[in-house]
Amino acid sequence: MEATKDVTLTLHNSLLTDDSSLITHHLSLKSREYRRNILKYIYKAKAGHTGGSLSCIDILNVLYNEVLNVSPETFTSPDHDRYIQSKGHCVEALFVVLADKGFFPESDLETLCKYQSHYIGHPTRKVNGVEQNTGALGHGLPMSAGVALAAKMDNRDYRVFTLMGDGELPEGSNWEAALTAAHYKLDNLCAIVDLNGLQITGPTKDVCNTEPLDKKFESFGWAVRHVDGNDVVALKEVFDALPFEKGKPSVMIAHTVKGKGVSFMENELKWHHGVPTEEQYKIAMQELSPLTPDGGI
Amino acid sequence: MGNEILKAPIGGTGAANQDVFSATLQELAATDRNIVVVTSDSRGSGKLVPFGKKYPAQIVEVGIAEQNLVGMAAGLASAGKKVFAVSPACFLTARALEQIKNDVAYSNNPVKLIGISAGVSYGALGSTHHSLHDFAVLRAIHNMTIVVPADSFETTQAVQQVAASEQPYYLRFGKKPMPLLDETGETTFQIGKGRVIRRGSDVAIIANGETVFPALQAARKLATENGIEATVVSMHTIKPLDEKLLSELALECKAILTVEEHSVNGGLGEACASWLLKNRYHKPFDILGIPDEYTVTGSQVEILNHYGISESGIASRVKTLLNTLT
């Protein structure tokens, strides 16, 4: 990880040209805005997966603003890039980004987890912009492999991205799909592991150790890159390098901080699906204020 | 190969339904490159080797990994492929049940799930290889149509109809050669509509899949030996159930017997019983299937005979049922 951070820093510095500075600034502001919205709607709904949504939001930010060829207008086109969120419980992160990209009015999120709302605690296709209904873990990668294989069969150029939690990696279906994706040389497939190191029971390494994760994926025939998953510049750089190796599926091991951006939530297990009190909410929103120069980003 | 199978003589020794499935699919694939078969090391059992040789670009092998079979099938279907996911029914509907529930039914990806060598087709291979639970678990999943064809005619029709449909389906096939069932000359087949194979007013025998033929044999035996006239129905679609036909049978016949190669719990029989009772049709009624016990060992025929799912066993059960009327 230290080596990865050095690489990230180098990349960061190399990107500080005028244009990239603007992009970086824009993405950083977006991440902060998304974090505020995640907390806003979780606070209103009194439910949600706070810690994981905050850990993965920078990944979704870069994906939807810099990487994916998808928009409300192109969503039904056969050639659009697909994003399937395997860690469906962090749906709040997806919803705030989809709202920002115009898939539905942000005001819809006022109904999050309310009676008869489509905006429930996991992604469903009843919400515009959601590719697949997820929530049970270990489903994103097999479905994504199927979509990626269809692209190869039809000679289409779209790519498929799936976001997995580190806690869901013991699901055997992931490794079934990992084998098949490599077998069919699906280099149009990118899995991103949101490696925040915590799951509901405790540290992931104590619940069921999946390390060395890079070697596992490599041995399954994948091309692997590590990245600081909360650094938008580093994320963009790594996404821009896809596919990491021609003829191999790519996996991005994104080292993230659970609860990232709110000081008292970071790396704290209780925020897995903790809902802030009024006082905690106010402090969190203050830390994430656009007026705060370094609000935890 | 296809034509030979499809033209099996009426009443003669026909082809196994799962062989007819693969032949029909091969014919469909000839004109539709979007037809894709996904297999889990099951192309041999599914008689899909010729398909794979003829259309190598339209067959996807995932190895022995049923969860991935169904998950990938869902992904392929969402991208516009007409996907037939083929695996032994025992593994497909148990190992991959969560993928069926979420990736296919809940996400509404129009995968055609094909359970082969179903029921106790695998005979002496034992309970690991039997599927006596599939109707029960799939009936409880919304957005899943369950079709169990009885013969080559029904199989061909069912495969053609599901291929043209953008909904999820579960089709269940056995591997025993089945004769064409055509006693009434009924030549239509529609998913969701039961097919009346024989007409009689004493009793209705409602069966599906490979149990329709012994039900028909039993009806003939009852007519010849006992003067009992039975209606025989191939209730190939368990869900949605043909409620109109059930209502007609309840009005026309004195008693109803259901027959299935499935546990007596949660299958065709309970589906019919539930509807009849809720709609106040109080008739003598019985369910013939595999009882809730460790299934006896033996070949498919021996197992079915043991539990009375045979010409004589069904006839005997009908007589017992009708005796309750006197």
Q: How far is B12 from chain A (nearest CA, A)?
A: 41
Mean pLDDT of A1-30: 63
What per-residue confidence (pLDDT) applies to B75? 98
CB contact under 8 A, B103 and A142: yes
CB A232 within 8 A of CB A27: yes
Q: What are the residue ranges of helices labelled H in chain A?
A: 2-14, 18-45, 50-62, 91-100, 140-153, 172-183, 204-207, 213-219, 232-240, 278-287
User: DSSP character for A270?
Assistant: G
CB contact under 8 A, B72 and A146: yes
- Split at pLDDT 50, 70, 90, the class of B4 is very low
Q: Which chain B residue's Cα is nearest to A159?
A: B79
A143 contacts in chain B (CB < 8 Å): 71-72, 74-75, 78, 103
| DSSP sequence for A106-158 | GGGGGGTT-TT-S--SS--TTSTT--S---STT-HHHHHHHHHHHHHHTT---
Q: Is the pLDDT of residue A30 over 50?
A: yes
Which of B35, B69, B107 best tests the A interface by mutation, with the highest count of A CBs <10 A? B107
What per-residue confidence (pLDDT) applies to A11? 47
B99 contacts in chain A (CB < 8 Å): 139, 142, 173
What per-residue confidence (pLDDT) applies to B314? 98
Which of A85, A143, A147 best tests the B interface by mutation, with the highest count of B CBs <10 A? A143
> A86 in contact with B at a CB cutoff of 8 Å?
no
Strand pairing report for A198-199 and A202-203? antiparallel
Q: Is the pLDDT of residue A261 over 60?
A: yes
Mean pLDDT of B145-157: 96
For residue B71, give the nearest of A131, A143, A151 by CB distance.
A143
The structure tokens 């009924």 sit at B186
What per-residue confidence (pLDDT) applies to A296? 41
d(CA B195, CA B242): 10
CB B288 within 8 A of CB B262: no
B77 contacts in chain A (CB < 8 Å): 146
Residue B131 contacts by C-beta under 8 Å, 6 or more apart in sequence? B88, B89, B90, B93, B94, B115, B118, B119, B172, B262
Q: How far is A145 from chain B (nearest CA, A)?
A: 6
For residue A176, give the nearest of B68, B106, B107 by CB distance.
B68
d(CA A91, CA A122): 5
What per-residue confidence (pLDDT) applies to A295? 42
Strand pairing report for B237-239 and B195-198? unpaired
User: DSSP character for B129?
Assistant: G
- Of B154, B208, B145, B162, the closest CA to residue B180 belongs to B154
d(CA A65, CA B229): 72
Mean pLDDT of B211-240: 97
Q: How far is A66 from chain B (nearest CA, A)?
A: 23
CB contact under 8 A, A147 and B75: yes
Which of B32, B72, B78, B104 best tests the A interface by mutation, with the highest count of A CBs <10 A? B72
Q: How far is A269 from chain B (nearest CA, A)?
A: 28
The rounded percent of chain B whose pLDDT value lies above 90 is 90
- Tens-place pLDDT, residues B26-66: 999 999 999 999 999 998 888 899 999 999 999 999 999 99
- Split at pLDDT 50, 70, 90, the class of B5 is very low
Q: Is the pLDDT of residue B23 over 60?
A: yes
B106 contacts in chain A (CB < 8 Å): 133
Mean pLDDT of A238-265: 98
Peptide bond into A212 cis (omega under 30): yes
For residue A144, give the nearest of B57, B75, B107 by CB distance.
B75
What per-residue confidence (pLDDT) applies to B236? 98
B108 contacts in chain A (CB < 8 Å): 125
Mean pLDDT of A68-94: 98
What per-residue confidence (pLDDT) applies to B132? 98
CB contact under 8 A, B75 and A149: yes
What per-residue confidence (pLDDT) applies to A185? 98
- Split at pLDDT 50, 70, 90, the class of A24 is confident
> A151 in contact with B at a CB cutoff of 8 Å?
yes
- Split at pLDDT 50, 70, 90, the class of A292 is low
CB B6 within 8 A of CB B154: no
- Split at pLDDT 50, 70, 90, the class of A20 is confident
What per-residue confidence (pLDDT) applies to A22? 85
Mean pLDDT of B117-127: 97
For residue B107, give the nearest of A125, A148, A150 by CB distance.
A125
B57 contacts in chain A (CB < 8 Å): 153
Q: How far is B140 from chain A (nearest CA, A)?
A: 18
- Tens-place pLDDT, residues B241-280: 999 999 999 999 999 999 999 999 999 999 999 999 999 9
CB A251 within 8 A of CB A232: no
The rounded percent of chain A whose pLDDT value lies above 70 is 92
Q: How far is B167 from chain A (nearest CA, A)?
A: 15
- Window from A10-14, A67-71, A264-268 with minimum mean pLDDT: A10-14
d(CA A283, CA A279): 6
